[in-house]
Each structure stands twice: as structure tokens, then as C-alpha cells.
């Protein structure tokens, strides 16, 4: 059979069940479709570091595929238009892809299914557990994390699958244009490269190499990457590393070296990721609503103040630590979990803005952007998601004293900004009388 496999958030050869399911085809088209994010919350486009890391994941995958006589067809546009055209042009008989959470993604998949003249097979996503392993139907997923964890934390995680030893060739005569080049280098404070190779190196370093995992629990709140938490998220989010590969390496470390509170905590965090993945599949459009899952006890109100939002985005607020964190995100594409909580709490609870604007800004810039984890965590802090306490407001001064006591992080990222007036409109700006409207002015 001549088949097509659409790679999405599974940019790897190892432990890729969807790809393996197409390894027996007679000819195989492997395609990745670059989709510019739709404008949302006054933001458009994608951050430079996020774009760079994504292109590196693709370069690395292409290199692996070429070693097997295959290649990666890189296209830009709408999958529901491009894929049916490819199927017709190359007379393909079957299409496959992996499941990605997100409302837009689900609608897109359905639109694609309707337009395809051949069957579409959707394989499991990049999760620890398969859907049929969950001890409840998806629509009975617990509303909070703790009961979910209790129900799944003893379940076995299937062993990762090996990479295919061979792959069918692409159709003769198919052209593979070069991938676009990234227009920025990694920031010196996070010299991280995309691709499975780099992901496996980091996993090895964090476990059997430098054994950072052994005191992860004590160090996970560190604001810098690579020295506290695992910093595996960029590879997990793109699927350059599978969650099962991480869980099995961790289990091997526990068997061969050490099992303690820290190793258990890392697994707990993987379960948070898992929980948000299944929630996103279940919650659909509720993940993007201002009132979220609608379970919050209090009604929330907010304002839209474009200047306050712009100041938060650029790291120019009255909160030095938040400024430093936002500047770290803009420069590197990454922020620690603690940092994300502090910045999100500031936008929601100090500036009184709509949480979705903050989530959209993170979406644009994070090199580990993941729809379920991002919007799920933002909802949690805003008190409109799965938090039993109805939201988290962090005391920003206390957080700074605890996590940056000497102000080294804040100074490094230029977080101390000159104070600004609260309002910047005065009598000369508003109101406009008919005699002073722009139409009445002559010349440039
Ligand atoms: C407001 C906000 C937005 C976030 N947006 C994202 C996002 O877009 N993508 C993303 O991967 N994570 C997101 N997180 C979760 C978390 O901050 C990152 O996963 C973590 O900081 C990545 O660094 P790490 O790999 O060193 O994590 P580690 O602490 O080493 O954890 C290992 C892995 O567990 C998972 N994980 C850890 N914490 C969480 C969590 N709270 N929720 C879900 N998964 C978790 C990640 O896959 C992570 O790589 C967000 C958290 C907050 C508070």
C-alpha cells in the first residue's frame, strides 16, 4: 500500500507507534506541516526561540530519516487542504497521524477526515498510558489531580518501542525542499538544541550522568534551567522524547542507582503532564474560556488594560522578579515552573488581567509549549480549572526573598526597571473635540 504519515507532536523514530504502524507500506510519504498560530489575545506569530527549537527538532528528524533512505516533506499551510491534495497527487491509499489534544486540533482532524478520500488512522499521543489503560472513561476523568494520581500511579508504563530498522521509500520523483533556517542562535544562558539526539543526551546527563535527579525535589524550584529541574520539557512537548522513554530511564535509574523522594517527585510531575493531556482532550473549548471549566466558586472579573499587558509581556512592571522572568522567557524561550507560577499570578492577581492573555503570550514564546500543560496550569492559577483551592495568589515579595534572596537572578535579567506612572493619558490626549480630530489637521 502507498501510505502517508503526518508527523505532529511525535518528532522521533524511537517509541513512535504511529510511524511503526506504517512501516510495512510499499511506499511512504512522511510529512510535517508548519502552521502559523492564529492571532489570539492581541498576539500573532511565534517567538524566535520557539521557532528555532522546532526547526532543529525537524532537522534532526530529517537526518535520522535520511539514514534510513527516507525523507521529511516539509509543507506550510492547512493540513485539511494540503493532505487530501497529496493523497490525490501520489495516489495514496491510507493516512495516519497521532492524536494531539486541543480543540482546534480536534476540529482540524475532523475536517481532514471529511475531506480525505481514504481512511485516516489516529494513533495514541505522547503519553505514559494508553487511553484503554485508564481506569475510567475519559468523560469520567477526575476533576482534580489527586484522585487521578491515586488511580494511575501504580499502573505499568509500557516499554518504549524500538526505532524502525527500515522504512519504505518515498514515491519515486517526490521532491524534498530544504527546511527554513532558524534566524537566531540559542541564548548563551540556555544553549539547548532541538532534536531527539540532544534530548537523549540531556536525559542521560540528568539521570546516569550528573544524577541531578537524585536531589530534584530540593532543587526543582531553581529559576535557572539545567541546574535545578530536568529541563526535558522542550523535547517532551515536541515528541522528540517520548514520555515513556523518560519514565523507563527513570525506573532504570531507580533500580540501578537510587530511589528516593526526588525520583518519585519527577514521576509525579510526569503524571501532572499526563493529567493535563487527558483534561485537554476532554475539556475541548472549555480550556480556552475565561471561566474555564466553570467550577470556580467565585465569579471572576477583570479589566483589559493594554498598557499593563504590554508592560508584563516586556518585563517592565513594578515587580522586579516578574520582569526578570519575562525577560528570561523572551530571550531563551524557557522559564522554570516556579517562575511561570509567579509570572502568571502577577498577571492574574496583581494586574487583574484576563488569564488567557498571559497564556497566549506563553504559547507564543515557550520552547516547550504544550496546549494541555499551558492552558491547564494557567486555569489552575486563575482558579477556573482543576485547583481544589480555587486559584493561587503568590506573595511576590515572599517569592523573591525565597527564590532569589540575593537578587542575582533579577539583576542578571535586568529586572530592576525605572518606576513608571500609573496612567499615561492626560487632558491633552482625551477627550477629542471636533476641532482637534486628526481630520482637521493639515499636512503630515
Ligand atoms: C503558567 C504555567 C504554564 C505552563 N506551560 C507549560 C507548557 O506550555 N508546556 C509544558 O511542558 N509545561 C508547562 N508548564 C509546566 C511546567 O512549568 C513545565 O513543564 C516545567 O517548568 C518544564 O521544566 P522541566 O522540564 O525542567 O520540568 P521538571 O520539573 O523537570 O519536570 C519534568 C517534566 O514533567 C512535566 N511537568 C512538570 N511540571 C509540570 C506541570 N506543572 N504541569 C504539567 N507538566 C509538568 C514536564 O513535561 C516536565 O518536562 C506550565 C506551568 C505553569 C505554571
Question: Using 50, 70 and 90 to split pLDDT, how confident is the model at 422?
Answer: confident
CA of 373 to the centre of ligand 1 (A): 7
pLDDT of residue 388: 75
Alpha-carbon gap, residue 305 to 350, rounded angstroms: 13
H or E stretch at 121: strand 120-123
The candidate with the shortest Cα–Cα distance to 46, out of 379, 374, 360, is 360
**Which carries the bigger pLDDT value, residue 294 or residue 128?**
128
Question: Residue 377 is inside which H or E element, if any?
Answer: helix 371-382
pLDDT attached to residue 212 = 97
Average confidence (pLDDT) over 364-369: 98
Per-residue model confidence as pLDDT tens digits over 193-248: 999 999 999 999 999 999 999 999 999 999 999 999 999 999 999 999 999 999 99
Q: Which of 235, 269, 376 to mutate to test the pocket of ligand 1 (most atoms within 8 A of CB)?
A: 269
Place of cell 477627550: 431
For 281, the grid coordinates are 482532550
Helix (H) or strand (E) holding 104: helix 103-115
In 10 A of CB 375, how many CB atoms?
A: 28
- What is the CA(84)–ligand 1 centre distance, in A? 35
State in Å: Cα 337 to ligand 1 middle. 6
> Is residue 438 pLDDT above 50, yes or no?
no
pLDDT in tens, 394-411: 999 999 999 999 999 999
Cα separation, 219 vs 213, in Å, equals 9
Q: Which CATH superfamily is domain 2-125 in?
A: HUPs (3.40.50.620)
Question: In terms of CATH architecture, what is 196-283?
Answer: Alpha Horseshoe (1.25)
Strands 120-123 and 27-34: unpaired
* 363 Cα to the center of ligand 1, angstroms: 13
10 Å CB burial of residue 171 (0-12, 13-18, 19+) is middle
User: Which protein residues are within 6 Å of ligand 1, measured from CB?
Assistant: 220, 229-233, 236-237, 266, 269-270, 272-273, 276, 336-337, 340-341, 344, 362, 366, 368-370, 373-374, 377-378
Q: Where are the alpha helices (DSSP H) in 168-319?
A: 196-204, 216-219, 233-238, 243-256, 261-283, 306-314
For residue 35, what are the CA distances in angstroms to 8, 31, 51, 81, 116?
Answer: 11, 13, 11, 12, 19
- CA–centroid distance, 229 to ligand 1, in Å, is 10
Sort 328 into a burial class: Cβ within 10 Å, 0-12 / 13-18 / 19+: buried
Q: Whose CA is nearest to atom 31 of ligand 1?
A: 269
* Choice between 398 and 427, residue whose per-residue pLDDT is larger: 398
d(CA 296, CA 285): 17
Q: Whose CA is closest to atom 6 on ligand 1?
A: 374
Give the span between the Cα atoms of 316 and 437, in whole angstroms.
Answer: 32
CA-243 nearest atom, ligand 1: 47
164-182 pLDDT tens trace: 999 999 999 999 999 999 9
Give 145 Cα–ligand 1 centroid separation in angstroms: 15
* Nearest-CA residue for atom 47 of ligand 1: 233
| Rounded distance between C-alpha atoms, residue 226 and residue 243, angstroms | 19
Measured CA to CA, the distance from residue 121 to residue 97 in angstroms comes to 7
Could you tell me the three cell numbers for 327? 525577560
Architecture of domain 306-412: Orthogonal Bundle (1.10)
Give 244-279 pLDDT, tens digit per residue: 999 999 999 999 999 999 999 999 999 999 999 999
- What does the pLDDT read at residue 421? 84
Domain boundaries, the chain: 2-125, 196-283, 306-412
- 373 CB burial (10 A radius; 0-12, 13-18, 19+): buried
Cβ atoms 223, 336 nearer than 8 A: yes
pLDDT for the residue numbered 430: 59
Q: Name the residue with cell 489534544.
A: 101
Phi, psi angle pair for 358, to nearest 5°: -65, -45
> Which of 294 and 398 is assigned the larger pLDDT?
398
Amino acid at each position: 500500500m502507498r501510505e502517508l504519515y503526518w508527523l505532529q507532536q511525535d518528532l522521533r523514530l524511537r517509541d513512535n507507534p504511529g510511524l511503526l504502524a506504517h512501516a510495512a507500506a510499499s511506499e511512504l510519504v512522511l510529512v510535517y506541516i508548519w502552521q502559523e498560530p492564529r492571532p489570539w489575545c492581541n498576539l500573532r506569530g511565534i517567538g524566535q526561540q520557539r521557532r528555532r527549537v522546532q526547526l532543529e527538532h525537524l532537522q534532526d528528524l530529517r537526518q535520522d530519516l535520511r539514514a534510513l533512505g527516507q525523507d521529511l516533506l516539509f509543507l506550510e499551510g492547512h493540513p485539511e487542504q494540503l493532505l487530501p491534495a497529496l493523497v490525490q497527487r501520489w495516489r495514496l491509499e491510507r493516512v495516519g497521524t497521532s492524536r494531539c489534544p486541543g480543540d482546534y486540533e480536534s476540529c482540524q482532524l475532523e475536517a481532514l477526515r471529511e475531506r480525505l478520500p481514504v481512511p485516516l488512522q489516529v494513533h495514541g499521543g505522547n503519553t505514559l498510558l494508553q487511553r484503554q489503560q485508564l481506569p475510567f472513561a475519559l468523560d469520567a476523568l477526575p476533576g482534580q489531580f489527586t484522585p487521578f494520581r491515586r488511580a494511575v500511579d501504580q499502573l505499568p508504563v509500557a516499554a518504549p518501542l524500538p526505532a524502525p530498522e527500515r522504512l519504505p521509500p518515498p514515491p519515486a520523483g517526490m521532491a524534498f525542499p530544504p527546511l527554513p533556517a532558524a534566524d537566531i542562535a540559542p541564548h548563551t544562558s540556555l544553549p539547548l538544541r532541538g532534536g531527539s539526539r540532544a534530548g537523549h543526551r540531556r536525559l542521560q546527563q540528568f539521570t546516569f550522568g550528573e544524577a541531578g535527579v537524585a536531589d530534584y525535589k530540593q532543587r526543582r524550584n531553581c529559576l535557572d534551567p539545567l541546574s535545578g529541574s530536568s529541563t526535558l520539557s522542550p523535547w517532551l512537548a515536541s515528541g522528540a522524547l517520548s514520555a515513556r522513554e523518560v519514565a523507563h530511564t527513570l525506573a532504570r535509574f531507580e533500580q540501578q542507582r537510587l530511589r528516593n523522594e526526588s525520583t518519585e517527585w519527577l514521576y509525579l510531575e510526569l503524571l501532572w503532564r499526563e493529567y493535563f493531556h487527558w483534561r485537554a482532550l476532554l475539556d475541548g473549548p472549555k480550556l480556552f474560556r475565561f471561566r474555564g471549566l466553570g467550577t470556580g466558586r467565585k465569579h471572576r472579573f477583570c479589566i483589559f488594560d493594554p498598557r499593563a499587558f504590554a508592560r508584563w509581556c516586556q518585563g517592565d512592571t513594578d515587580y522586579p522578579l516578574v520582569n526578570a522572568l519575562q525577560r528570561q522567557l523572551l530571550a531563551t524561550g524557557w522559564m522554570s515552573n516556579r517562575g511561570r507560577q509567579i509570572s502568571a499570578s502577577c498577571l492574574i492577581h496583581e494586574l487583574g488581567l484576563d488569564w488567557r492573555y498571559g497564556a497566549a503570550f506563553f504559547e507564543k514564546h515557550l520552547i516547550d509549549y504544550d496546549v494541555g500543560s499551558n492552558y491547564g496550569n494557567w486555569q489552575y492559577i486563575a482558579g477556573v480549572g482543576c485547583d481544589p483551592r480555587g486559584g493561587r495568589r503568590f506573595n511576590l515579595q515572599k517569592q523573591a526573598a525565597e527564590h532569589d534572596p540575593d537578587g542575582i537572578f533579577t539583576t542578571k535579567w535586568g529586572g530592576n526597571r525605572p518606576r513608571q506612572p500609573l496612567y499615561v493619558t492626560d487632558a491633552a490626549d482625551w477627550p477629542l473635540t471636533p476641532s482637534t480630530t486628526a481630520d482637521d489637521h493639515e499636512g503630515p
